[in-house]
Structure 1
Amino acid sequence: MDKKILDKVIVALDFSEEKRALEIVDILNNEIKIFKIGLELFLSCGPKIIEKVKAKDKEVFLDLKLHDIPNTVKKALSNLIEYDIFMTTVHALGGRNMLREAKNTIIEVAEKKNKKRPLIIAVTLLTSLEDEDLKELGIQGKLEDEVLKLAKISKEEGIDGVVSSPLELPILKKIYQNKLIFITPGIRKSFIPGDDQKRKLSLKEAISEGANYVVVGRQITLANDPQKALYDLLD
């Protein structure tokens, strides 16, 4: 399998159990270099899980989707610097001031503590949302237009990249080309139980549309043979 493609795959450790999460890291040790730690695993295991994944010579994408007033996000990110993570996320819906504070904090604290700063990525709209969901929330624009609006604000405030569904990738790539990092979840080969991803594509389609990284979770981690499931997804 092409190493360049494998390097674009981030595997989501969507578990509550530390043991199972670390088992997946070991199973995919030769293929995957970046693993995503989200709310479920972070809250069940605490920051120590970051250290344990990094101890296996892996990079961590800490996906907590911070969304709060600027000062609270500033303090949270100041603490996250200590974990030496590769990337972390904030919600673009937190607004321009929050995004600006997030980026400035990451730069200032990293320099002060002499640490390599993590990339800061803005989540646009969750892949579980559709146009009807936005209307219910009082957002009248089309979903794609809202994603573009949030990406524009994020870029203007110096955010490194955005998370969107793969369906918005073509227009985002056309507008921003190499000026933003594009990360997409919603990678599917077939239906899986409890699936709440609504805007999704195959891994090959997402990469061909311009994704720098694709996040894959249950398609691989719930399989009897995660390594085989990874290669099946890449095939």
Structure 2
Amino acid sequence: MDHSLIIALDFASVNEVQKFLQPFEGEQLFVKVGMELFYQEGPAIIHLLKEAGHQIFLDLKLHDIPNTVKSAMKGLARLDCDLVNVHAAGGKEMMQAALEGLEAGTASGKKRPYCIAVTQLTSTSEEQMNKEQLIPVTLKESVLHYASLTKDAGLDGVVCSAWEAGAIREKAGDSFLTVCPGIRMPQDQTQDQKRIATPESARNAGVSSIVVGRSITRSSNPLESYQQWLKIWKGVN
């Protein structure tokens, strides 16, 4: 899944998803299903997207006691998604339990989904982290700490901002995935994201995969926007 462009399907219903995907008929996409969509539509939306041939990042950010996360991941593994995630703040034991659940729930002969951990949300500023989470270090130090913890737990990578991706790659190696939301074109609004980057700067930082939502999903011509994003992300003139 290296160097993927993942489209965030931040919609409230399957009808909205189907309408959005109509122009993409014949395209094999990598899409993200988050809480909003999954909690409304449940596993049915995953089955629909898999039947259409799309790769899926199921972005539920599990964060609970280890046994609960293990059981939840065992069930999610049966959905045959390509990528799932947890919160690194849940700790090493919880992350290891997530992997155990995925291994147990993955059908024999199939590869388990990639599992990554959220470090600090791209909507979080250093001031917020210091004051509200009471973490008295720089945001970069916190992200690197969580990335190291995630690697020690055996996970495949992290969700981070492009700002930290280069340092994570230096610390954890090139095979450790960095999946980065908060990617914007220079003319785009930042909306609720704080640590944003352009696709070019993300590529230059060695980011594994970028997650793009409204710049494509709210475009008047989503297919054209997707193709433009893909060219820029891949460095194609």
TM-score normalised over the length of structure 2 = 0.90
User: Is the contact between residue 116 and residue 159 of structure 2 (CA under 8 Å) also seen in structure 1?
Assistant: yes
Unaligned runs of 5+ in 2: 233-237
2:40, 2:105 → 1: CA distance? 27
Q: In angstroms, what is the RMSD of aligned CA positions?
A: 1.9
Partners in 2 of 1:13 and 1:40 — Cα distance?
9
Q: Are 1:185 and 2:177 an aligned pair?
A: no
1:142: which partner in 2?
138
Instruction: Please say if residues 22 and 53 of structure 1, whose CA atoms lie closer than 8 Å, have aligned partners that are also in contact.
Output: no
Q: Which amino acid counterpart does residue 30 of structure 2 have in structure 1?
A: I
Structure 1: state its 5+ residue gaps.
Answer: none
Q: Take 1:134 and 1:68, find their aligned partners in 2: how far apart are those partners?
A: 20
Asked if 1:118 is matched to 2:102, the reply is no
Partner of 2:57: 61
Whether contact under 8 Å (2:72, 2:101) holds in the other structure is: no
Q: Is residue 120–residue 161 contact of structure 1 (8 Å, CA) maintained in 2?
A: yes
Return closer, same or farther for 1:19/1:134 CA change in 2, 3 Å cut-off: same
Q: Match of 2:55, as an amino acid?
A: E
Deviation of residue 96 (structure 1)? 1.0
Query: Given residue 154 of structure 1, which amino acid in structure 2 is its aligned partner?
Result: T
Q: Which amino acid aligns with 2:60?
A: L
Q: How does 1:189-228 map to 2 (within 5 A)?
A: 189=185, 190-192=187-189, 195-228=191-224
Q: d(CA) in 1 for partners of 2:120 and 2:202?
A: 17
Tell me, yes or no, if the aligned pair for 1:84 and 1:116 is still in contact at 8 Å: no
1:1-235 to structure 2, matched below 5 A, reads: 8-29=4-25, 33-110=29-106, 113-136=108-131, 137-189=133-185, 190-192=187-189, 195-233=191-229, 234-235=231-232
Tell me how far apart the structure 2 counterparts of residues 70 and 87 of structure 1 sit (CA, whole Å).
19
Does the CA-based 8 Å contact 1:25-1:53 persist in structure 2? no
CA–CA distance in structure 2, aligned partners of residues 109 and 15 of structure 1: 28
How far 1:192 sits from its partner (Å)? 3.2
Distance 2:71 2:94 in 1: 12
Distance 2:207 2:23 in 1: 25
Aligned-pair identity (%): 36
Q: CA deviation at 1:8?
A: 1.4
The alignment's TM-score, normalised by the length of structure 1, stands at 0.91
The ranges of structure 1 where at least 4 consecutive aligned residues each deviate by more than 4 angstroms after the TM superposition are 29-32
